Amino acid sequence: MFIHLTFLLSLIFILISLKVQLINSLIMQQPFPPLKNDRLIRVAKGLKTDKLPVWIMRQAGRYLPEFQELRREYSFFEICQTPKLACEATLMPLKRFNLDAAIIFSDILVIPQALGMTVEMQPGVGPVLPKPLTIENMKMLQVQGAVSRLQYVGDAITTTRYALKGEVPLFGFSGAPWTLMGYMIEGGGSKTMSKAKKWLYCHPEASKQLLDILTEVITEFLLLQIEHGAQIVQVFDSSAEYLNRQLYFKYCLPYLRKIAYNVKRRIRDTKMDVPLVIFAKGAHFCLEEMESLGYDVVGIDWTLDPEKVGNLFRDKNVTLQGNLDPCALYAPKEELIKMTMQMIKQFGTDRLIVNLGHGIYPDADVEAVKTFVDAVHAIELK
Amino acid sequence: MFIHLTFLLSLIFILISLKVQLINSLIMQQPFPPLKNDRLIRVAKGLKTDKLPVWIMRQAGRYLPEFQELRREYSFFEICQTPKLACEATLMPLKRFNLDAAIIFSDILVIPQALGMTVEMQPGVGPVLPKPLTIENMKMLQVQGAVSRLQYVGDAITTTRYALKGEVPLFGFSGAPWTLMGYMIEGGGSKTMSKAKKWLYCHPEASKQLLDILTEVITEFLLLQIEHGAQIVQVFDSSAEYLNRQLYFKYCLPYLRKIAYNVKRRIRDTKMDVPLVIFAKGAHFCLEEMESLGYDVVGIDWTLDPEKVGNLFRDKNVTLQGNLDPCALYAPKEELIKMTMQMIKQFGTDRLIVNLGHGIYPDADVEAVKTFVDAVHAIELK
């Protein structure tokens, strides 16, 4: 009787799965609406446009009253994991501002979750992983099937692509190997990332093993997002700032290069042409190396001087993205416009995607975001 | 009767004060023991030595079991405020390691305290200022008499100078204006310093007013420490990393320059020759400017490449100080020695004070500190 019930349940499950797959493939067969505003994609590929494209890291987040409203009903990860809700959050900033891109509402810590780690989003604290990774429990990571457990991100992207109606391109994204390693070992944010760095100094082999696993999962995750409709993807190495040139050369650059190489190779086979973006916050010590990693766009954090970076990358085959200080959004309107104009002048308008130099802060003024976006679009390119 | 009692108590108080002053001046008249190991002072002034001097930022702190022991009996600020205890903590690392300097046990937040703000040291959190500074309550700052309320730091320095018996020179120090402003407005540490930065963008006049007050108090505080026996003083701009070049030029460099200029001018009158050190953590965007601020030594954080910095400062009239990653102390002994040697080779041995690139972390291995210090001293300079 027990065996029969199990068999029956399995059969029902298989049938449901088949049905879901069928519906999915039917959806996938229906082509996505054609892209109307292709400014950002063109500039990422080094082509000319009428105006500079602009978007904002974390644009679909805590500074928006309507997102706070949504958060009163659902937890952070409920929104991530429910395609309809993730789509809703993704579209929120586009209803307010004349942005040139959407970015799927998600989080870099969905990968540690898919690997079997618990991630909680604690109010006022940020992400907390109550059982951090240790050398001893590292083998517990559930690598097998991790990417398929991230199917919900793919689904959210597909849903959002249709909902966007081709208005602007949709970003997919992932955390970089070192950044994810940092959170997994520290059990959350840290002022120094010293526990994770301790691995780099004391356990180089285990570190490389972990970074290899993450590189593999990130590659497949980016491909999953691209297959499901992401038109550009960004890799966030938000914790680059905790390392120096030596460590970054050893434990970051090879993995970032491998991700770009493998994603590019695999999408070439499918004849898709999706630009890749790398944003390594605080990697001032490895700025020059970012150019040759295989990414089309290099994100620049706000601590870097646009003039210096502009000169450094002039005539190189990459687009720059950045880098207004998120705190500049606190400034009076006229001052904000002045700073935006000055930054663009210093970068130079060739191959530039305008953005902040870090994710927008929760207390940012919504009106200031509008001022910033409109100021960028006021510039007519020859 | 009441008036009589008050009068009597006042008289007793005045008599005690006079006695303390008398004892103090007697102590001050007794000259400090002559300096035996002058390596660090010589190198700070650009003179040759037999070996490279080495010390460690936060060397008298939480990584030492004997300090933890002391902390079980006294609160953090009790140790700071009691000259005998501050002296005891200051001497602790010197009993273990062959260091070339002592640094007075104190904290950068003693200035906000002297200005009337409450500062608590919360375990696992760090400093917390429960009533942060606002535009509205700024006028409550008790500027008058602030430096005299820091007399205990002077007394701790005097006590320690005698206790050191001239073994090594004694550092005094202060937080830099922007760093203190940051803590005062944020009410503690912050991931972004966005509240304090908001002042810079929205309230430039109030910001300048506050920075002016702090510059004045810091100058007088450094002079108080020098008068009481500090043989070298360091200014810590630990929060430089939150700013960019533009903000640092406007809100930090002029104040840092003013401090150096005024301290140098005032000590020149007294014919003392005390070197000044500036350490601006994360100021990679203003590195070149550090050379011409009037400080004898420029501290280099661990994110900077020693070779690049060494080349940049070669033949400039400053000494460099730095910059081993504090996490390198986690590495196996041989690896740690190798990294120390490589760093020194990259900096070059001319005008170099060896240190970590940031304060030592609480979980640092005591044996590793010994390995680091001894590795530096194993190098014989020609």
My answer on whether A20 and A116 are in the same domain is no
Q: Which residues are bridge partners to A321 per DSSP?
A: A299, A353
| Contact across the interface for A191 and B194, Cβ inside 8 Å | no
Asked whether residue B32 is assigned to any structural domain, the reply reads no
Q: In B, which residues are within 8 Å of A341 by CB distance? A: none
Q: How far is CA A95 from CA A51, A168, A273, in A?
A: 20, 12, 28
pLDDT of residue B222: 98
Question: For residue A123, what pLDDT band results from cuts at 50, 70 and 90?
Answer: confident
Q: Tokens 């980016």 correspond to what residue?
A: A222
My answer on whether A167 and A87 are in the same domain is yes
pLDDT of residue A8: 57
Q: How far is B307 from chain A (nearest CA, A)?
A: 11
Task: Identify from A325, A345, A371 which residue to disrupt to test chain B contact, counting B C-beta atoms within 10 A and taking the largest count.
Answer: A325
- Helix or strand (DSSP H, E) at B372: helix B366-377
My answer on whether A6 and A145 are in the same domain is no
Task: Identify from B330, B336, B363, B371 which residue to disrupt to test chain A contact, counting A C-beta atoms within 10 A and taking the largest count.
Answer: B330
What are the tens digits of pLDDT across the range A226-257? 999 999 999 999 999 999 999 999 999 999 99
pLDDT of residue B138: 96
> Residue B360 has what DSSP assignment?
P
My answer on whether A269 and A192 are in the same domain is yes
Q: How far is A35 from chain B (nearest CA, A)?
A: 36
Under the phi-then-psi rule, with left for phi > 0, alpha for psi from -120 to 50, and beta for the rest, what region is A122?
A: beta
Q: In A, which residues are within 8 Å of B186 by CB distance? A: none
Percent of chain A's residues with pLDDT above 90: 90
Q: In B, which residues are within 8 Å of A302 by CB distance? A: 244
What is the residue-level pLDDT of chain B in tens, covering all 382 positions?
455 655 555 555 555 555 555 445 545 568 999 999 999 999 999 999 999 999 999 999 999 999 999 999 999 999 999 999 999 999 999 999 999 999 999 999 999 999 999 999 998 889 999 999 999 999 999 999 999 999 999 999 999 999 999 999 999 999 999 999 999 999 999 999 999 999 999 999 999 999 999 999 999 999 999 999 999 999 999 999 999 999 999 999 999 999 999 999 999 988 899 999 999 999 999 999 999 999 999 999 999 999 999 999 999 999 999 999 999 999 999 999 999 999 999 999 999 999 999 999 999 999 999 999 999 999 999 8
Q: Report the alpha-carbon distance of residue B215 to residue B202 in Å, rounded.
A: 21
**B283, closest residue in chain A (CA to CA):** A303
Please answer whether residues B337 and B375 qualify as being in contact, where contact means their C-beta atoms are separated by less than 8 angstroms: yes
DSSP track, B78-99: HHHH-HHHHHHHHHHHHHHS--
My answer on whether A54 and A174 are in the same domain is yes
Is the pLDDT assigned to residue A23 strictly greater than 60?
A: no
My answer on whether A218 and A301 are in the same domain is yes
Give a three-class secondary structure readout of chain A: CHHHHHHHHHHHHHHHHHHHHHHHHHHHHCCCCCCCCCHHHHHHCCCCCCCCCECCCCCCCCCCHHHHHHHHHCCHHHHHHCHHHHHHHHHHHHHHCCCCCEECCCCCCHHHHHCCCCCEEECCCEEECCCCCCCCHHHHCCCCCCCHHHHHHHHHHHHHHHHHCCCCCEEEEEECHHHHHHHHHHCECCCCCHHHHHHHHHCHHHHHHHHHHHHHHHHHHHHHHHHCCCCEEEEEECCHHHCCHHHHHHHCHHHHHHHHHHHHHHHHHCCCCCCEEEEECCCHHHHHHHCCCCCCEEECCCCCCHHHHHHHHCCCCCEEEEEECHHHHHCCHHHHHHHHHHHHHHHCCCCEEEEECCCCCCCCCHHHHHHHHHHHHCCCCC
| Contact across the interface for B325 and A192, Cβ inside 8 Å | no
- Chain B residues within 8 Å of chain A (Cβ atoms): 189, 191-192, 194, 197-198, 200-202, 241, 243-245, 247, 282, 284-285, 302-305, 325-328, 330-332, 335, 357, 361, 363
| Contact across the interface for B201 and A330, Cβ inside 8 Å | yes
* Contacts within 8 Å (CB) and 24+ apart, A278-281: A278/A176, A278/A234, A278/A235, A278/A237, A279/A57, A279/A234, A279/A235, A279/A236, A279/A237, A279/A238, A279/A321, A280/A176, A280/A237, A280/A240, A280/A252, A280/A256, A281/A236, A281/A237, A281/A238, A281/A239, A281/A240, A281/A241, A281/A358
Q: In A, which residues are within 8 Å of B200 by CB distance? A: 327
| Amino acid of residue B19 | K
My answer on whether A12 and A159 are in the same domain is no
**A333, closest residue in chain B (CA to CA):** B202
My answer on whether A5 and A87 are in the same domain is no
Residue A110 sits in a domain whose CATH number is 3.20.20.210
Q: In B, which residues are within 8 Å of A328 by CB distance? A: 201
For residue B355, what are the contacts with CB-CB under 8 A and spacing of at least 6?
B54, B55, B56, B57, B299, B321, B322, B323, B324
| Amino acid of residue B207 | S
pLDDT of residue B30: 85
> Tokens at residue A39, please?
């400014």
My answer on whether A299 and A365 are in the same domain is yes
Q: Report the alpha-carbon distance of residue A153 to residue A158 in Å, rounded.
A: 9
Mean pLDDT of A142-159: 98
Asked whether residue B7 is assigned to any structural domain, the reply reads no
Asked whether residue A382 is assigned to any structural domain, the reply reads no
pLDDT of residue A22: 47
- Catalytic residue positions of B? 58, 62, 71, 107, 183
Q: In B, which residues are within 8 Å of A304 by CB distance? A: 244, 285
Asked whether residue B27 is assigned to any structural domain, the reply reads no
> Tokens at residue A271, please?
């004849």
pLDDT of residue A165: 98
Please answer whether residues A256 and A283 qualify as being in contact, where contact means their C-beta atoms are separated by less than 8 angstroms: no
Q: Tokens 């620049």 correspond to what residue?
A: A300
| Contact across the interface for B200 and A241, Cβ inside 8 Å | no
Strands B297-299 and B352-356: unpaired
Q: Report the alpha-carbon distance of residue A96 to residue A55 in Å, rounded.
A: 12
Q: Report the alpha-carbon distance of residue B302 to residue B346 in Å, rounded.
A: 13
Asked whether residue B140 is assigned to any structural domain, the reply reads yes
Asked whether residue A256 is assigned to any structural domain, the reply reads yes
- Rounded to two decimals, the ipTM of the complex is 0.90
Q: Report the alpha-carbon distance of residue B296 to residue B44 in Å, rounded.
A: 6
My answer on whether A106 and A245 are in the same domain is yes
The boundaries of the domain holding residue B167 are 39-377
Start-to-end CA span in chain A (Å): 76
- Chain A residues within 8 Å of chain B (Cβ atoms): 189, 191-192, 194, 197-198, 200-202, 241, 243-245, 247, 282, 284-285, 302-305, 325-328, 330-332, 335, 357, 361, 363
Q: Which of A259-268, A356-365, B21-30 is predicted with the least confidence, judged by mean pLDDT?
A: B21-30
Return the ∠ at Cα A321 (arms to A182 and B191), rounded to 5°: 40
Q: Which of A2-11, A176-185, A233-242, B368-377 is predicted with the least confidence, judged by mean pLDDT?
A: A2-11
Is the pLDDT assigned to residue A19 strictly greater than 80?
A: no
Q: Which residues are bridge partners to B355 per DSSP?
A: B323
Percent of chain A's residues with pLDDT above 70: 92
Q: Report the alpha-carbon distance of residue B359 to residue B107 in Å, rounded.
A: 12
pLDDT of residue B16: 55
Question: For residue A26, what pLDDT band results from cuts at 50, 70 and 90?
Answer: very low
My answer on whether A19 and A84 are in the same domain is no
| Contact across the interface for B325 and A245, Cβ inside 8 Å | no
Q: In A, which residues are within 8 Å of B328 by CB distance? A: 201
> Tokens at residue B63, please?
């990584």
Query: How many residue contacts between A and B have a Cβ separation below 8 Å?
Result: 80
> Tokens at residue A239, please?
């914790």
Q: Report the alpha-carbon distance of residue B344 to residue B342 in Å, rounded.
A: 5
Under the phi-then-psi rule, with left for phi > 0, alpha for psi from -120 to 50, and beta for the rest, what region is A269?
A: alpha
| Contact across the interface for B200 and A327, Cβ inside 8 Å | yes
Give the count of domains, chain B. 1
| Contact across the interface for B197 and A327, Cβ inside 8 Å | yes
Asked whether residue B22 is assigned to any structural domain, the reply reads no
Strands A297-299 and A276-280: parallel
Task: Identify from B197, B201, B245 which residue to disrupt to test chain A contact, counting A C-beta atoms within 10 A and taking the largest count.
Answer: B201
Q: Quick one: which of B84, B61, B85 has its CA closest to B73? A: B85
| Contact across the interface for A285 and B304, Cβ inside 8 Å | yes
Asked whether residue A156 is assigned to any structural domain, the reply reads yes
My answer on whether A233 and A345 are in the same domain is yes
| Contact across the interface for B285 and A284, Cβ inside 8 Å | yes
Q: Report the alpha-carbon distance of residue A202 to residue B229 in Å, rounded.
A: 41
